[in-house]
Amino acid sequence: MATLRKIALEEHFMMPGFEAYSKAFLNFIDPATMKELGQRLADFDTLRLDEMDKAGIELVVLSQSGPGVQAEPDTTLALRRARENNDFLAERIARRPDRYAGFAMLPMHDPLEAARELERGVTQLGFKGSLVNGHTLGRYYEGREYDPFWERMQELDVPMYLHPIDPWKPLHALDGAPVLAGASWGWGVETASHALRLVFGGVFDRFPRLKVILGHMGEGLPFQRWRFDSRFAAYPYGITLQRRPSEYIGSNLLITTSGVCSHPTLVGAVGEMGVDAVMFSVDYPYESTEAAARFIDTAPLEPAQLEAICRGNAARILGL
């Protein structure tokens, strides 16, 4: 089968000096794998482009590997480091603007500073939105204090990619089970919960044009849409929304396929959310580019659906 042309959105790099933020995560990786990951995260010129060419990936949207400044306790330093990261990324993109675009790193410690840095990233550096690595020191973003940030983001008409991070406090059910606490389960629970806080916190009612992207086939949310409606109707806890919870999942919450190369899951996500809400991604270098490309190239969907998932939706949402 011919290789489909693709755009990928959850594709990471590592700016020198940011490794320390990932130290706890990296301790779980064996040295040989860590060395290879380090080479791939630092590369912009050979390894990455070779894999893109083989997989039919025309363009990747690059973002700093997590947790980045979301783990920085000093607000002033977080702003400086975010700006340094964004300037570094813009310089790398300028070398190959035909193959690379970027997501801004944001210091969400301060909503106004985050809004200013997003605006700088979009209007001056040419970024296509932001990637935020979950909560910032235990702070989530549905509160009214973040409304100035969401308002600016809506005005700029760019998406946020909400990326996984460790929970601020370990989930008791996962205590003593590190195999579950991270990427295999815990990160998805954390990120899906954060996204639901945005929904039930009324963020998308106040700013209805916002687009927040979730990786890993939506961290499981597409497959609970019916139950969210059913149980919210029974137990609203005093919350009023303008739409059913399910209606935000597919309009304000969009997803990528990163890290879930399953045809039945893809078909189910499209069935739940509609084809316009699903986009291809790899999660480079933590997942296999070859496996991700083979998965989507052979997916049992109509050609028009595959074109939308592989590149059309990303081009529309990111203004490419």
Catalytic residues: 283
249, two tokens:
């999942």
Say if residues 40 and 285 touch (Cβ distance below 8 Å): yes
Q: Which residue has tokens 């989530």?
A: 140
* Residue 308 Cα distances to 94, 304, 313, angstroms: 27, 6, 5
Say if residues 101 and 128 touch (Cβ distance below 8 Å): yes
Cβ contacts of 232 within 8 Å, gap of 6 or more: 200, 239, 241, 244, 245
Crossing angle of the two packed helices 47-55 and 289-297, in degrees rounded to 10: 10
| Longest CA–CA separation in the chain, Å | 55
Question: ∠ CA 254-259-264 to the nearest 5 degrees?
Answer: 75
| β partners of residue 57 | 6
Calculate the dihedral angle through the C-alpha atoms of 126, 18, 256, 201, rounding to the nearest 10 degrees: -90
Alpha-carbon gap, residue 118 to 96, rounded angstroms: 22
